[in-house]
Chains A and B, each alone.
Chain A
Amino acid sequence: MGTFRASTDNAPSVCSSRRVPIFFTVFLAAASLSAQSVNLKIDFAKDSPVTPLSVESGDSTATARGGAYQVNVHASLSLRNLSQKKIRGITMAVLAQEVTPGGKGSVSIPSLDVTPNDAFTVRIDVPLIRPLSAGQGAPAVEVRLDGVLFEDLSFYGPDSLHSKHNMTLWELEARRDRKYFKSVLETAGDTGLRNEMLRSLSREADRQQQQPGVQMVRGRSTNFDAGQDVQFAFLDIPESPAEALDGTARITSDGARAPRFEVRNRSTRPIRSLEIGWLVKDQQGREFLAASLPAEANLAPGKTGQVLEQDTALKFRDSTNISTMRGFVSNVEFADGGYWIPSRAIIDDPKLRSLVAPSPEEQRLAQIYRKKGLAALVEELKKF
């Protein structure tokens, strides 16, 4: 948990009539200000395996609108791989401390295939809104390298956003899915691969329609809404090294909070961390993946531990009323640096397939098929 300043000074207030003249003064002052340049700082360490070739931020704008500064940073970074290894993924951290103290953003590109000395582009778009009262001038935006993942799964970078963990999982999923589609091509030929792609595109379209707007709130609640504890049902994945035994969350009028799980390590390797997928079914029968719950578990083989997110609340932007909840272990990181991810057979289970998003690599391959056709997809699968 980070620390956050609790402030009400910046909150728009129209409740007091004495504020009305201030309200309009701010409005007129804001209207009189023209668009200003954006303070964009790009920072790479000297020993970084990638170096910026060029930075284009020509159409970035900072404009005073109403009682706020609206900043749109559009930057396109052209980077060169200076290392001797192929790059598989990169994450750039984006900071705007004046807007969200402690808050950060990131841009990651998984499934890259950048050979040494090759160049590639990272596009960064950051829309920001900062109250005029929160400072003077356009807010500064800083871009830093957070991590680079190489072909051999080695990593470079400060990893302030746990990008090593995420990029390694994406790369393992990419390898799993490429291997699967290659095997489909070998066993079922072009027709089999085409059918797989069509099924993937169809599932993706259905899944996107199910997903409602969700929000995750961190910090202790000041609003008392007792709610009631509701039990999770768990999908048992026999090949998973961790088993979820029991779990509850407190259901309130606008969502759920304080999820708690009991997890057992049923493998022979110590577990460092794991992630649980949180599925929610609403009273209309619509089921979707509401959130994921990563947790530092530190579980020795055979041991049971508890995952508790006391100050976490999941809320819905529409009037979704939770009916039932399910959970499943979606990935595990072992203490020795190894990972477990579900196999294709597990994620192709009808109970999960329509609810869980496909890997970034499957989405990339499906887009290549949709845009360029089967021949281009086959060519792409042969690359690596």
Chain B
Amino acid sequence: MKSIKTHPAEFALALYATGDLPLVDRLRVRFHLSNCDACRSVEQTYRKDQAWIRQKADELPEGVDWDRLSREMTANIRVGIAAGECVARRERKTPIRGWRPVAVAAGLMVVLGSAWWLNVPEAQNESLKRAMVAIFHRGTTLNEDRRPTVFASSTEIKLVENGGTFSMSQGDKAPVAVSVNAEGSASARYVDTDTGQVTITSVYVQ
């Protein structure tokens, strides 16, 4: 026989008898009961009590009409709710269980948006910006020219047509002069800093 200090608590035996003990505790108690007559006796007592209570609960009291009892209970609940609403409007607490998915979705949007902005070519970012401005200024006229267009700026020349962009450059060099021509071309002039060789690049809409 083991020392009394190692006996399971009585509530553990009660829970074991009803099958409500967690798995690890249940195994430990089962092992103890196999070696301890006193505890097994207590556990058997709990099992008998449980069987008796279950049997009594299954027996209907005499004269009880369950259908009528059910209708009365339902009516009482409704009367109670109506009475409560007459006294004061009940404040409903909005469950905040939805905030986590929203936060995750927002974070994902920020990450994807940043990745998009950093990776997508500038021309597409500009189109996106124009579209957002158009949405913001709903109702006003925002002229988006979709005709073939050549651009010339101090940094580049390019042809924009059909959603595509066609540029002609000389690597990282900046042009020393740019020009556009009414026939639909743009030109940029580059000078090689070492040799002085001039290279002229052009784009044409036709």
Interface residues of A (CB under 8 A from B): 1-2, 4-15, 24, 27, 31, 65-68, 70, 74, 94, 96, 98-111, 123, 125-131, 134, 161, 170, 204, 207-208, 211, 213-221, 223, 225, 254, 259, 278, 289-294, 309, 312, 314-315, 317, 357, 360-361, 363-365, 367-368, 371
Contacts and interface: CB of A to CB of B under 8 A. Distances in A.
B164 A67 contact: no
B159 A100 contact: yes
Contacts of A108: 199-202
Nearest to A317: B153
B120 A67 contact: yes
B162 A4 contact: yes
B10 interface: no
A134 B162 CA distance: 9
Nearest to B156: A127
B165 to A, nearest CB: 4
Contacts of A74: 171
A355 to B, nearest CB: 12
A102 B166 contact: no
A292 B152 CA distance: 13
B196 A371 contact: yes
B147 interface: yes
A102 B161 contact: yes
B120 A104 contact: no
Nearest to A121: B197
8 contacts: A2-B205, A13-B131, A27-B116, A66-B121, A100-B159, A106-B204, A128-B166, A293-B181
Contacts of B128: 12, 14
Contacts of B206: 1-2, 102-104, 218
B181 A216 contact: yes
A230 B173 CA distance: 38
Contacts of A291: 179-182
B205 A103 contact: yes
Given A216-B180, A293-B181, A100 B149 contact: no
Contact of A215 (B124, B180, B201): B180
Nearest to A111: B198
B146 A105 contact: no
Interface in B71-97: none
B181 A131 contact: no
B115 A68 contact: no
B166 A363 contact: no
B127 interface: yes
B119 A65 contact: yes
Given A14-B131, A65-B121, A216-B184, A368 B179 contact: no
Contacts of B200: 107-110, 170, 360
